[in-house]
């Protein structure tokens, strides 16, 4: 393996034998391979990819898609049925809750045990015990058996160990899902520190926003098969399309053949533009059951000009023009937009069902205009335009365009937040 590759997975598969009752296990043993008394369940099948040194890659997929099994094989805790995994450097992993812990040992003893498994010298980890204690915020519980810990305490201890053994490769499998909001934010900051130090990170999360914030690439696993891999934005966009789709099969999106998958991706991520540039032609994600009903979408100034540069504090408007077909239910129709940064974080979101529940006309073609004072600090942004059915809790998307308009915002003042609304200030002096 090249020194520039930290993780190499080649044709990796894992098959589980499923027995309908315990007796069949004995019969299988006695059959000595002459007959099968089990059903095969392929948790992972023929997965191949490489992750370079210093890369941060997101692994996404539905529950049961094989993500945890794949990570366990990479970490060496599960033996693959076929294929190979190679890793270069010390691997620290946060897998399922309590993995690698002895429930009878105290938190302190489990710190020493896990460090030893990772090949970290006992003397060194003892020197860092105070750092582990401080980050985990476990206090006196560090000297209590971990079987008395809550799920959040398990997570705190596991993460504290992983970040204090100087990992070359950090693998995080939804380990932050059980933590409180403050600790999760603290962990995310530490992951970014480890990232900046040059470690390789494989990050598993159902939160597409977190994957886009941390990762440059993404791997999408579905039913044990690697559906897609590549730049984080288009891959997560196709995954979002899959998650919101009414068609569970999604033959184009789940094409196993790489050429077919690339063709489907190209169709999903290229937005045609006409002479007026009513939609940007740069790569974005576009999907939904009625693609093409969004005729135009953009960010306009006070003079109703579609501009790619807007000034902080000035009035801007989001205009979305739609042309609807007769089969679209008007009763639950909703037009919405969001403004995202280039990592995909939603900064501003608004819909016609917010607050006043704006009634929409019965005409086939109409426009919706959202106006506000520009709160965006200096930076680059993209517009999402969507037409939705809000009848049920699960939104149905008639059309969703991520990247309908790429634009910039500029401000003379130096702001430190992601957005900066105009805020009145006053000083109050008690007499």
Give the CATH number, domain containing residue 9.
Answer: 3.40.50.300
Alpha carbons 276 and 37: distance in angstroms, whole number = 65
Alpha carbons 290 and 407: distance in angstroms, whole number = 26
- Residue 385 shares a structural domain with residue 293: yes
Tokens read off for 415: 């702001």
Residue 125 belongs to a domain: no
pLDDT of residue 275: 35
Tokens read off for 157: 């201890």
- Residue 82 shares a structural domain with residue 191: yes
Alpha carbons 91 and 87: distance in angstroms, whole number = 8
pLDDT of residue 99: 61
Least confident of 185-194, 254-263, 279-288: 254-263
Domain that holds residue 332: 285-410
Cβ pair 389, 376 in contact under 8 A = no
Alpha carbons 169 and 56: distance in angstroms, whole number = 10
Tokens read off for 26: 């004995």
Structural domains of the chain, count: 2
- Residue 61 shares a structural domain with residue 192: yes
- Residue 197 shares a structural domain with residue 291: no
Using alpha carbons, list the distances in angstroms from residue 345 to 244, 350, 383, 395. Answer: 18, 14, 11, 19
Cβ pair 271, 294 in contact under 8 A = no
- Residue 16 shares a structural domain with residue 78: yes
- CA angle, residues 326, 287, 378, in degrees to nearest 5: 115
- Residue 76 shares a structural domain with residue 218: yes
What does DSSP assign to residue 384?
E
pTM of the predicted model, to two decimals?
0.71
Q: How confident is the model over 264-307, as pLDDT tens digits?
A: 334 433 333 333 457 776 546 888 889 899 999 999 999 999 99
Q: Is 84 helix (H, G, I), strand (E, B) or coil?
A: strand
- Residue 223 shares a structural domain with residue 363: no
Q: How confident is the model over 127-186, as pLDDT tens digits?
A: 888 888 888 888 888 889 988 988 778 878 888 888 777 889 999 876 565 556 677 777
- CA angle, residues 119, 124, 127, in degrees to nearest 5: 145
Cβ pair 13, 44 in contact under 8 A = yes
Residue 200 belongs to a domain: yes
Q: What is the dihedral of CA 358, 290, 251, 273, to 10 degrees?
A: -110
How far does Cα 90 stand from its chain's mean position?
Answer: 25
Residue 151 belongs to a domain: no
- The fraction of the chain above a pLDDT of 90, given in percent, is 38
pLDDT(324) > 50: yes
Query: Among 146-150, 383-387, 390-394, which range has the highest average pLDDT?
Result: 383-387
């Amino acid at each position: 393996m090249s020194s520039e590759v930290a993780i190499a997975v080649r044709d990796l598969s894992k098959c589980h034998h499923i027995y309908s009752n315990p007796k069949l296990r004995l019969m299988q043993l006695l059959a000595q391979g002459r007959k099968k008394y089990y059903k095969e369940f392929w948790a992972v099948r023929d997965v191949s990819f490489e992750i370079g040194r210093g890369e941060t890659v997101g692994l996404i997929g539905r529950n049961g898609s094989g993500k945890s099994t794949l990570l366990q094989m990479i970490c060496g805790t599960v033996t693959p049925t076929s294929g190979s995994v190679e890793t270069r450097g010390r691997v620290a992993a946060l897998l399922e809750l309590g993995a690698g812990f002895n429930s009878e040992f105290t938190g302190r003893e489990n710190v020493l045990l896990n460090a030893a498994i990772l090949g970290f010298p006992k003397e060194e980890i003892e020197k860092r015990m105070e750092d582990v204690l401080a980050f985990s915020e476990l206090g006196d519980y560090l000297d209590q058996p971990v079987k008395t810990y809550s799920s959040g305490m398990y997570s705190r201890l596991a993460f504290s160990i992983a970040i204090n053994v100087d990992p070359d490769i950090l693998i995080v499998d939804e380990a932050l899902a059980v933590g409180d909001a403050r600790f999760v934010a603290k962990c995310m900051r530490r992951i970014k520190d480890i990232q900046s130090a040059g470690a390789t990170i494989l990050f598993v999360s159902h939160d597409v926003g977190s994957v886009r914030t941390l990762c440059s690439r993404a791997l999408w696993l579905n039913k044990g098969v690697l559906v897609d891999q590549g730049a984080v934005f288009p891959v997560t966009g196709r995954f979002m399309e899959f998650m919101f789709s009414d068609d569970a099969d999604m033959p184009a999106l789940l094409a196993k053949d790489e050429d077919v998958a690339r063709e489907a991706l190209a169709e999903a991520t290229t937005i045609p533009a006409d002479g007026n540039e009513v939609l940007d032609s740069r790569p974005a994600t576009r999907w939904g059951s009625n693609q093409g009903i969004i005729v135009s979408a953009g960010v306009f100034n006070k003079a109703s000009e579609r501009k790619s540069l807007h000034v902080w504090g000035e009035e801007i408007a989001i205009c979305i023009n739609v042309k609807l077909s007769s089969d679209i239910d008007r009763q639950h129709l909703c037009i919405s937009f969001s403004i995202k940064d280039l990592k995909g974080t939603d900064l501003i979101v608004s819909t016609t069902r917010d607050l006043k529940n704006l009634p929409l006309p019965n005409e086939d073609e109409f426009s919706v205009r959202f106006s506000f004072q520009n709160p965006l600090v200096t930076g680059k942004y993209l517009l999402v335009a969507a037409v939705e059915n809000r009848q049920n809790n699960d939104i149905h998307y008639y059309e969703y365009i991520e990247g309908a308009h790429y634009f910039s915002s500029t401000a003379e003042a130096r702001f430190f937040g992601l957005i900066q609304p105009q805020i009145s200030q006053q000083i109050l002096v008690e007499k």
